[in-house]
Amino acid sequence: MKILVTGGAGFIGGNFVHYMLNKYPNYDIVCLDKLTYAGNLSTLKSVMDNPKFTFCKGDIADKNYVDKLFCEHKFDIVVNFAAESHVDRSIENPQIFLITNVVGTGVLMDCCRKHGNIRFHQVSTDEVYGDLPLDRPDLLFTENTPIHTSSPYSSSKAGADLLVLSYFRTFGLPVTISRCSNNYGPYHFPEKLIPLMITRAIYDKSLPVYGNGLNVRDWLYVEDHCRAIDLIIHNGKIGEVYNVGGHNEKSNIDIVKIILKQLGKSEDLITFVEDRKGHDMRYAIDPTKIYNDLGWLPETKFEDGIKKTIEWYLENQDWWKEIISGEYKNYYDKMYGK
């Protein structure tokens, strides 16, 4: 079995590469990554010498490059993690999100069609459903929830999802889609909430929290997400969408306070900043379908996952210290102030 993992130097893709090489030592894993600011080769450092792993630097929107890669490697499955994924950045520059998330997905599927109708899996997000009210905890996103996007990021992912489903209906391409809740865990780029708070709290820096911090997210430990995708690509029903949720709803401010408590830091570090434009209030996924069809349930309780995540950032400071500089520092200053 040979699998192409796009975006494999990023957070979820990188964890998936490690997961698959560990679980399936006989599989060949090819990673395609553009190595933008969020792609980090050090995430893959421990597997670079693995004879079953190949890294390729390239852009999924570069049709000629991708076609050559498909000619060179006879892929059995393509798993597309490659995406511009940060909402704030999509508000600053929507165009790059359209190119990578929509055009890039189309390029990959065209190559799948050309080279033998290759199995294609699209890794999407619960953000395509928009948000839910805080005062209706009974409401959850299901696979039948209408798409109702709030940002250029979620709109680009929704556009890609619709394109994927159209390739199944029009061309018969064997596709599946997974829509996950917020992931957390090792190798998470420190512009996102949990790693941002951990890395800043370690050095007693202020912790910027949007608005009043009451926005709620459903948190999924990244290894549980990798297990779900593994099940979908091997046993999922072609043409289907699967929601992957963690059953761990927490408000942003509660997340920050949990991190501070684990690190033994004062809540005085919390600083409330101007809210994000169009900030969704609540995400919550109903994963009943993937449980009924594939037997998947999240195994990691948030209390355990956040401890493991904090420990990883404490033990791997060289990884994230290299990131918190240059372009990322300039971006942080722009978004949250000096």
Q: What is the spatial distance between Cα 171 and Cα 191, in angstroms, rounded to a whole number? A: 38
**C-alpha closest to that of 227 among 247, 201, 208, 246:** 246
H or E segment to which residue 113 belongs: helix 104-114
Among 59, 84, 153, 187, the one annotated catalytic: 153
Contact 5, 13 (CB under 8 A): yes
| Position 292, amino acid | N
Contact 216, 281 (CB under 8 A): yes
| 24 annotated active-site | no
3-class secondary structure per residue, 219-251: EEEHHHHHHHHHHHHHHCCCCCEEEECCCCEEE
| 153 annotated active-site | yes
* Token pair of 129 as six digits: 């459903």
3-state secondary structure of 301: coil
DSSP lists the bridge partners of residue 4 as 30, 78
Q: What is the spatial distance between Cα 293 and Cα 242, in angstroms, rounded to a whole number? A: 9
Residues 6+ apart with CB under 8 A from 316: 186
Identify the residue whose tokens are 């030592």. Answer: 25
| 127 annotated active-site | yes
Residues 6+ apart with CB under 8 A from 310: 198, 259, 262, 263
Q: What is the spatial distance between Cα 30 and Cα 81, in angstroms, rounded to a whole number? A: 13
Among 33, 59, 84, 126, the one annotated catalytic: 126
Among 28, 59, 84, 127, the one annotated catalytic: 127
Active-site positions read: 126-127, 153
